[in-house]
């Protein structure tokens, strides 16, 4: 199943025993995310290392094996339409990707569900679906 993973999903993958980590290892998921999400994760590299007791560079290397990070140039034509769906500037990028490539978004952010145009699954829903 192809999904757009938001930054919080990517962050939760760092926790080795998380449900999210288990899902990406055990299920046939094709994950994509904006390359902007890597910048977000880099801002929190020290916190990620400390909180999850991992090497951040190794985490990013493993993440890149599981997630295809796409530059904004691949979905920039959908940004304007995405702005009509969601107001949060940081979230517009995920909706632009969904408009451009058509997969659902994987996010535990309840605000993502306050719209009807794009299908959004939280982790619990994804478990039931898979």
Report the 3 state secondary structure along 108-122. CCHHHHCCCCCCEEC
Asked if 64 and 37 touch (Cβ cutoff 8 Å), the reply is: no
Kindly state whether residue 116 falls inside one of the protein's structural domains: yes
Report the phi/psi class of residue 15: left, alpha or beta, with left for phi > 0 and alpha for psi in -120 to 50. Answer: beta
Asked if 48 and 11 touch (Cβ cutoff 8 Å), the reply is: yes
Kindly state whether residue 21 falls inside one of the protein's structural domains: no
Kindly state whether residue 87 falls inside one of the protein's structural domains: yes
Kindly state whether residue 44 falls inside one of the protein's structural domains: yes
- The enclosing domain of 7 has a CATH number of 3.40.50.1010
What pLDDT score does 120 carry? 97
Domain total in the chain: 1
Token digits for 7?
């930054």
Kindly state whether residue 40 falls inside one of the protein's structural domains: yes
What pLDDT score does 89 carry? 86
What pLDDT score does 88 carry? 87
Kindly state whether residue 22 falls inside one of the protein's structural domains: no
Kindly state whether residue 96 falls inside one of the protein's structural domains: yes
The residue range of the domain holding 108 is 2-16+27-129
**Three-state SS for 68?**
strand
**Rounded Cα–Cα distance for residues 89 and 62 (Å):** 28
Read off the pTM.
0.92
Q: What is the pLDDT along the chain (130 residues), one digit of tens a residue?
A: 999 999 999 999 999 899 999 999 999 899 999 999 999 999 999 999 999 999 999 999 999 999 999 999 999 999 999 999 998 888 999 999 999 999 999 999 999 999 999 999 999 999 999 9
Kindly state whether residue 67 falls inside one of the protein's structural domains: yes
Token digits for 51?
């909180």
């Amino acid at each position: 199943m192809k999904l757009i993973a938001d930054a919080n999903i990517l962050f939760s993958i760092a926790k080795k025993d998380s449900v999210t980590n288990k899902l990406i290892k055990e299920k046939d998921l094709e994950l994509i995310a904006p390359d902007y999400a890597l910048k977000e994760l880099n801002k929190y590299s020290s916190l990620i290392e400390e909180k999850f007791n991992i090497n951040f560079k190794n985490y990013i290397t493993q993440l890149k094996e599981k997630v295809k990070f796409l530059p904004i140039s691949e979905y920039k034509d959908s940004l304007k339409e995405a702005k009509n769906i969601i107001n949060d500037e940081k979230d517009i990028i995920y909706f632009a990707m969904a408009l451009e490539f058509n997969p659902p978004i994987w996010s535990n952010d309840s605000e993502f569900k306050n719209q009807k145009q794009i299908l959004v699954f939280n982790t619990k829903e994804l478990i039931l679906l898979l």
